[in-house]
């Protein structure tokens, strides 16, 4: 059957509909995996997990998380066939649990995606500054580099989504290539032999499993973003679910394999100590002398583009949540406007860019003269915001699993038992446990020595956003019933 063409857009400066039928399954997969940033996970996430947990069972953590998130994807993917909305979590929770919880979820999602996107500027600025200094001997402040990245993301955000998808596809493919090369080199040198040491139960069934899952969750951040693009997908009833399943499988298996290979290359008995000494530089220190200097420098540059890909992906996600809530008039209606030509959520994109700009400037001022020196953004800005966002994501996934359980069991005869009950129930239990584990390990995740108020403040901000959203939903029901009814009709019927 011939592909349908999108309806003509009205000749106005701005509209309130996203560009239709621009993304297929491959494009959705690239957008999803770009948010997870394969090279960033290996160089930053895996090494941090080895270093802070002090355990070698990191690969198993990725596999177990893949199982839990695969169960979540069963209900999440099926929901995408019934509800297509750029504010996926908000729409699904509204459909399953009601309008007020749905609005609360939208506020929680906005806080989560903005915290993640903005926090990544910290590591981007630091990495860009370091690379420029290493390659050209020029010292540039991290915040100047962060602002340069911010400008590129802002420009891409107001253009057609397929432009971002094409750029991200190239970056992600190059990232995979670098990680595969690192893995092959690791296995080829393996000083202690190619062993299954890191997979043995004694390296993860020893009280460390909770920490491994808490730290590993960050690697999957963004896997759920396929549903956010449902209105722009060519075949939303099928492509979103397929892209989500593919992304979860690729992310879990690939990250487990690459972290296992890195541990083999360093040596299972040495990987923890080396990760603690070198941190994110471990991968590049390991490659030094094993590959030509030019290739090592190229890998470092691709590490930077990997971070940029994550920035673009999370910017797109946050912009679409602003758009969805503006279109529903839960937030100011201006946020629901899109570009006449691009079909991009221009108002939401500009809002997200504005928030990022303010936070970058605040941290630039706060870090001036800090005793942490150039490490300031990667020891404060980056871990504070992104770990809070990781906690927020797990809450979102848990709530959405409960919503799917409720939604499907209203008409049990239409859905198989595994889809309507077993998968979402197991996912909700697993995700709830991970949320608790993150809270118990939050001091380690932000590298706090002893008790820090941030252990309460940062997760508290995430939870508070959801509570404010529920209160706002109650206000709309009492004072703006036409808006409340509109949200209900759009998502519940």
Query: What per-residue confidence (pLDDT) applies to 5?
Result: 37
Query: What per-residue confidence (pLDDT) applies to 159?
Result: 81
Query: What per-residue confidence (pLDDT) applies to 492?
Result: 62
Cβ atoms of 218 and 387 closer than 8 Å: yes
Domain boundaries, the chain: 17-491
pTM for the structure as a whole = 0.86
Cβ atoms of 325 and 91 closer than 8 Å: no
Query: What per-residue confidence (pLDDT) applies to 328?
Result: 87
Query: What per-residue confidence (pLDDT) applies to 9?
Result: 40
Residue-wise pLDDT tens for the chain (493 aa)? 333 433 434 434 345 555 555 667 787 887 777 767 788 888 888 988 898 888 899 999 999 999 999 999 999 888 888 877 656 788 889 999 999 999 999 999 999 999 999 999 999 999 999 999 988 999 999 999 999 999 999 998 888 666 666 777 788 888 888 999 999 999 999 999 999 999 999 988 877 788 888 888 878 877 777 776 776 777 776 787 888 888 899 889 999 999 999 999 999 999 999 998 887 789 988 998 899 988 888 888 888 988 888 898 889 889 988 998 898 899 999 998 888 776 788 999 999 999 999 999 999 999 998 998 988 998 899 989 988 998 999 999 999 999 999 999 999 999 999 999 999 999 999 999 999 988 888 888 887 877 789 999 999 999 999 999 999 999 999 999 999 988 887 666 5
Contacts of 371 (CB under 8 A, 6+ apart): none
Query: What per-residue confidence (pLDDT) applies to 11?
Result: 39
> Domain 17-491 belongs to what topology?
Amino acid/polyamine transporter I (1.20.1740)
């Amino acid at each position: 059957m011939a592909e349908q063409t999108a309806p003509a857009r009205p000749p106005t400066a701005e509209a309130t509909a996203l560009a239709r039928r621009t993304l297929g399954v491959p494009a959705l997969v690239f957008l999803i995996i770009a948010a997870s940033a394969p090279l960033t996970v290996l160089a930053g996430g895996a090494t941090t997990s080895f270093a802070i947990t002090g355990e070698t069972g990191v690969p198993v953590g990725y596999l177990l998380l893949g199982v839990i998130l695969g169960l979540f994807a069963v209900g999440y993917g099926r929901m995408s066939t019934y509800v297509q909305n750029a504010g996926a979590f908000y729409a699904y929770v509204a459909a399953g649990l009601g309008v007020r919880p749905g609005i609360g979820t939208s506020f929680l999602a906005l806080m989560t995606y903005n915290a993640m996107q903005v926090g990544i500027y910290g590591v981007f600025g630091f990495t860009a500054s370091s690379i420029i200094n290493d390659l050209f001997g020029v010292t540039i402040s991290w915040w100047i580099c962060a602002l340069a990245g911010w400008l590129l993301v802002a420009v891409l955000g107001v253009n057609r989504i397929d432009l971002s998808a094409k750029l991200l596809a190239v970056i992600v493919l190059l990232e995979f290539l670098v990680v595969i090369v690192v893995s092959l080199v690791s296995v080829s040198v393996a000083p202690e032999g190619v062993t299954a040491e890191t997979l043995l139960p004694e390296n993860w069934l020893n009280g460390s499993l909770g920490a491994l899952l808490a730290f590993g969750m960050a690697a999957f951040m963004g896997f759920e973003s396929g549903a956010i693009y449902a209105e722009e997908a060519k075949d939303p009833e099928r492509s979103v679910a397929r892209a989500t399943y593919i992304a979860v499988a690729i992310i879990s298996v690939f990250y487990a394999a690459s972290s296992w290979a890195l541990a083999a290359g360093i040596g299972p008995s040495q990987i923890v100590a080396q990760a603690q000494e070198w941190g994110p530089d471990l991968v590049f220190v390991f490659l030094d002398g094993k590959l030509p200097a030019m290739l090592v420098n190229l890998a470092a540059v691709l590490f930077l583009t990997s971070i940029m890909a994550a920035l673009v992906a999370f910017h797109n996600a946050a912009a679409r949540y602003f758009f969805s809530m503006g279109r529903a008039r839960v937030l100011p209606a201006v946020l629901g406007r899109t570009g006449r030509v691009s079909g991009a959520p221009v108002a939401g994109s500009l809002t997200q860019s504005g928030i990022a700009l303010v936070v970058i400037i605040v941290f630039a001022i706060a870090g001036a003269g800090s005793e942490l020196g150039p490490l300031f953004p990667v020891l404060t800005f980056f871990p504070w915001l992104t770990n809070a966002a990781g906690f927020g994501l797990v809450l979102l996934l848990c709530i959405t699993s409960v919503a799917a359980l409720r939604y499907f069991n209203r008409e049990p005869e239409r859905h198989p038992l595994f889809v309507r009950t077993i998968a979402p129930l197991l996912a909700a239990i697993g995700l709830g446990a991970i949320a608790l584990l993150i809270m118990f390990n939050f001091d380690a995740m932000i590298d706090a020595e002893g008790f820090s108020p941030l252990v309460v403040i940062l997760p508290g901000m995430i939870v508070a956003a959801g509570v404010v959203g529920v209160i706002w939903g109650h206000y709309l029901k009492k004072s703006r019933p036409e808006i409340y009814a509109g949200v209900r009709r759009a998502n519940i019927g």
